[in-house]
A and B are shown apart, each in its own frame.
Chain A
Amino acid sequence: MKAKHLRNRWLGLLPLGLIFFLSGCGQLEMTVLDPKGPVAQSQYDLIVYSLWFMLGIIVVVFALFTYMIIKYRENRPGRKESDYDPNLHGNTTIEIIWTIIPVIIVILLSIPTVTTLFDLEKPPEPAAGEEEKEPLVVHATTADWKWFFSYPEQDIETVNYLHIPTDRPIEFRLTSADAMTALWIPALGGQKYNMAGMMTTLYLEADEEGGYDGRNSNFNGEGFAAQTFKVHAESEEDFNAWTQKIQNEAPELTADRYNELLKPGLTDVESFSSTHLDYVKHHTKDGMGYTIEHFRDLYGKKLDLYEIEKQESFQ
């Protein structure tokens, strides 16, 4: 009786997992599983490809496991004498088989992983029939706890929001003014670290217009939760109109204003008609200590950023 009870509970596990899985995947509402650009798409493809293998492994192991604990429980009615062999301790053939199969799975997973890795180092290929476009260069710089997006070609800079044209690769040049952070826009693709004294490159592209959530995904202190930004992906014309507007209407980013913004704390969205790249290069050996040298005293203080809790959304 007890054993039957047990078995039912074990079996109960399978549908439980399945319900979760289907309710999750079936609707495809999760950001990572709903890609809005070629980079996110290639990662999505890789994830889905691997998921089939993983599901296969899970099904095989769960099935074997269920079979074993039902068939070979000690007090199963109708156990036969032949169901017990205490000295069985190996079988070379079967052991070779279950070593080789995982090796094959690893190979099958490695090939697309490696090719995708190399692809992601380059700007995404244009869709069939479309011309190749020069990537738009955007310097993404973080400071506690805000984002600076500098567009050197357009000579504009935004704080805590980002405008990008669709169907054109964006070449993010990532660096940090202080702690290590990471730029992550899950709808458009995976993340990469921003580090002071270094510059990392991340290619992303949006192929659908819309607003996407971006954030720093690497913990960097008290204001971490609020270090988010909105990505506005729009047509080339709208994007150009926007840059025009900023160039004409926004104030210049002076060195003083930039220093003010670098201080640890939260800031609202802002726009400027020049960039900070002339004042300091955080990614160079000379510039990596800039913020610490200027504002060392401010890092010690706890800011008690209670306003984070009050805000519904940070954008």
Chain B
Amino acid sequence: MHITDILVTGEPIIYGAMVSMALGGLAILFVLTYFKKWGWLWREWLTSVDHKKIGVMYILSALLMLFRGGVDAMMMRVQLAFPDLGFLNSQHYNEIFTTHGTIMIIFMAMPFLIGLMNIIVPLQIGARDFAFPYLNALSFWSFFFGMALFNISFVIGGSPDAGWTSYTPLSGAAMSPGPGQNFYLMGLQLSGIGTLATGINLMVTILKMRAPGMKLFHMPIFTWSTLVTCFIIVFAFPILTVALALLTIDRIFGSQFFTLTGEGLPMMWANLFWMWGHPEVYIVILPAFGIFSEVISTFAKKRLFGYNVMVWSMIVIALLSFLVWVHHFFTMGAGAFVNSVFSVSTMLIAVPTGVKIFNWLATLYKSKIEFTVPMLWSLAFIPSFILGGVTGVMLGMAAADYQFHNSYFLIAHFHYVLIAGTVFACFAGLVFWYPKMFGHKMNERLGRWAFWLFFFGFHVCFFPQYFLGLDGMPRRLFITNVAEWLPLNVISTVGAAGMALGFVVFVYNVYYSFRYSERETTGDSWNGNGRTLEWATTTPVPYYNFATVPYVDEIDPYVRMKEEGKTTFEEDKVKPIHMPSYTGQPFIFMALLGLASFGLIFEWMYLAVFGLIGGVVMMIRRSFDYDDGYYVSVEEIKETEKKARGL
């Protein structure tokens, strides 16, 4: 195969994207070379096993993907509002909604939340890093190369075009030949390794590395949400791994698991996909609940109402999340009894979720609400999410779902829960913990602009879509060919533009704040309202996190620590700290697996075998790795802490 055969040709928009990607890439290369930053990049970032740096890399990648998925969304919205423009043809539109969905869920929502977990969870429990720092770096690079693979598909080989659910038989080799679907399979498979590893890693970290005295029911609620999420990841992701592997074998080696010929079972894919897919929804919403709980409690200046109930409701939601997958295809004809069971189990999820909503409202009761930017995102979540939640219950009523299924009513519902839930939480969490990560806050004024633009844009964009659905407009339709659908689609596109503008202001705020924001002097950035241990460290956080780990025997330990004048630097108790060494192995390992995946995508078996052997070599190399890390000396700790605390 010649290189010109695998490049996507014939689309002006894609040529434009190619040119801008090439220019962007060259610009980065030039800047790195000109400022002699290659060594810095390798030593400080690519080889890092520091959970805080890995978290920052996750969040930067996720923001990049939010941009990519957002551009996809805007292109769809333009096409739907101006169908006469001939902006996108059917094939191009199909590719775009496929990449939009896949990127937003797999390469935006999850990594964004995992990035926040990476940075915050060890700080909240008084740990010095993850239980397995090497594995953490491995996770990030597997995600990164999976993401890179998936994203180059639209210039090399062609994007997948069977929807983010990739239903067989449509996505099988017979009906979707070529590398497009393979990009989907290998991109998800490679990044899935990282997600599963992170699940195990965080689970062990939380279970084994808490501060002395901290029982499970003393943990901050965000850590709790992370722990519950990790259990979902560990049980759900293997299903995806198997499903992807089976479909890959189908497509590349000609087996018949999901095919129409050879007595395959195409509908088994839908089952496997949603047995992972529904828990996945809770993987991206539970951490969001955790973030909102932290932010609301902090800026209400009050303890979280019903902490135990909050925890138990998350556990119940996690259990129920595995028992509802059939509600994604009530219309498959499984019969009234099966649909009744899954209908009731689906509606039951509303109970623990409703309890959580009331707990947040009760947290606001007799509080002192301060309307900071993270609080605005969190408060906006409550009414917005309710609109998504109640329509979710309506969708759960199977008999009515026959009319809602595959329509814009469904589209509106899941954007209401995923944006008002997950995306609002990502923004809330990022702004909230921003000073902890970068040593300065984001500008409040610009932050408010970004919030209000995004918030109103969101409602204007998605609220009309409920009515489009009730008027019979199906999802994944590239052209609004019924005249009555057009006005609401135009309104929706205006809203989408508002969201885009909000995002632009948000990104500009990153730059603006980097230039002009005041640098933090204390670790307790929000007017001393911090409640949990992450605020007890200095800002910027020293690489070993805590000079001395405090004894914790209650919820919100930092509140009492402040009352008693305690810090995480008790000079007489400082001991040498054991830290892991940086290593380039995870990067190289995953780059090799990325290469192998690339080979499989184009069915270039020599390349695939080479990459896989390389991977095995890296595993052997790791097995004989005797680098046990190093100790930070007491003098260095004291010097760092005194400088940071101005003692």
B398 touches A293 (CB 8 A): no
Q: What 0/1 readout, one digit per residue, does chain A (261-282) give for beta carbons within 8 Å of chain B?
A: 0000000000000000000000
How far does the Cβ of A270 sit from chain B's closest Cβ, in whole Å? 21
With contacts A88-B305, A186-B403, A201-B333 taken as known, whether A213 is within 8 angstroms of B475 at the C-beta atoms is: no
Nearest 4 pairs between A and B by C-beta? A190-B402, A289-B261, A200-B333, A116-B399
B90 touches A222 (CB 8 A): yes
Please measure, in the bound complex, the distance between the C-alpha atom of A99 and the C-alpha atom of B310, giving whole angstroms.
Answer: 12
> B344 contacts the other chain (Cβ, under 8 Å)?
yes
12 pairs, CB–CB < 8 Å, chain A vs chain B: A43-B402, A84-B301, A88-B365, A89-B306, A109-B347, A113-B344, A114-B343, A191-B405, A191-B406, A224-B90, A292-B260, A309-B90
How far does the Cβ of B313 sit from chain A's closest Cβ, in whole Å? 9
Chain B residues numbered 70-93 whose CB sits less than 8 Å from any CB in chain A: 83, 86, 89-91
Q: What 0/1 readout, one digit per residue, does chain B (172-211) give for beta carbons within 8 Å of chain A?
A: 0011111000000000000000000000000000000000
A85 touches B366 (CB 8 A): yes
Q: What 0/1 readout, one digit per residue, does chain B (158-170) give for beta carbons within 8 Å of chain A?
A: 0001110001011
> B26 contacts the other chain (Cβ, under 8 Å)?
no
Q: What 0/1 readout, one digit per residue, does chain B (334-377) give for beta carbons within 8 Å of chain A?
A: 01100110011001101100110111011011111111000000
Cβ–Cβ < 8 Å partners of B470 in chain A: 24, 30-33
Other CB < 8 Å A-B pairs besides A113-B340, A196-B169, A219-B475, 16 of them? A2-B371, A68-B361, A72-B369, A82-B366, A95-B355, A178-B175, A182-B406, A189-B403, A193-B332, A195-B332, A213-B482, A217-B407, A220-B170, A308-B479, A309-B89, A311-B481
Cβ–Cβ < 8 Å partners of B452 in chain A: 9
B266 touches A196 (CB 8 A): yes
Cβ–Cβ < 8 Å partners of B260 in chain A: 178, 196-197, 288-289, 291-292
Q: Helix, strand, loop or mixed for chain B's interface?
A: helix
Cβ–Cβ < 8 Å partners of B302 in chain A: 84-86, 88
B175 touches A292 (CB 8 A): yes
How far does the Cβ of A62 sit from chain B's closest Cβ, in whole Å? 6
The chain A residues found within 8 Å of chain B, CB to CB, are 2-3, 6, 9, 13, 16-17, 20, 24, 29-33, 40, 42-43, 46-47, 50-51, 53-54, 57-58, 61-62, 64-65, 68-69, 72-74, 82-91, 94-95, 98-99, 102-103, 105-106, 109-110, 113-114, 116-118, 120-121, 174, 178-180, 182, 184, 186-187, 189-193, 195-198, 200-201, 213, 215, 217-225, 285, 288-289, 291-293, 296, 299-300, 302, 304-306, 308-309, 311-314
Cβ–Cβ < 8 Å partners of A299 in chain B: 174-177
- By beta carbon, the residue of chain A nearest B479 is A225
Please measure, in the bound complex, the distance between the C-alpha atom of A310 and the C-alpha atom of B369, giving whole angstroms.
Answer: 55
The chain B residues found within 8 Å of chain A, CB to CB, are 83, 86, 89-91, 94, 161-163, 167, 169-170, 174-178, 259-263, 266-267, 300-309, 329, 331-333, 335-336, 339-340, 343-344, 347-348, 350-351, 354-355, 357-359, 361-362, 364-371, 379, 382-383, 386-387, 390-391, 393-394, 397-403, 405-407, 452, 459, 463-464, 466-467, 469-472, 474-479, 481-482, 484
The tally of CB-CB contacts under 8 A between chains A and B is 312
Please measure, in the bound complex, the distance between the C-alpha atom of A135 and the C-alpha atom of B579, giving whole angstroms.
Answer: 75
B393 touches A50 (CB 8 A): yes
A90 touches B306 (CB 8 A): yes
With contacts A31-B472, A189-B403, A193-B332 taken as known, whether A74 is within 8 angstroms of B369 at the C-beta atoms is: yes
Partner of B399, one of A30, A117, A223, A313: A117
Please measure, in the bound complex, the distance between the C-alpha atom of A255 and the C-alpha atom of B463, giving whole angstroms.
Answer: 49
Cβ–Cβ < 8 Å partners of A293 in chain B: 261
- By beta carbon, the residue of chain B nearest A62 is B383
A193 touches B331 (CB 8 A): yes
A217 touches B355 (CB 8 A): no
Partner of A72, one of B365, B391, B463: B365
A109 touches B333 (CB 8 A): no
- By beta carbon, the residue of chain B nearest A287 is B260
Please measure, in the bound complex, the distance between the C-alpha atom of A62 and the C-alpha atom of B387, giving whole angstroms.
Answer: 10
Cβ–Cβ < 8 Å partners of A62 in chain B: 383, 386
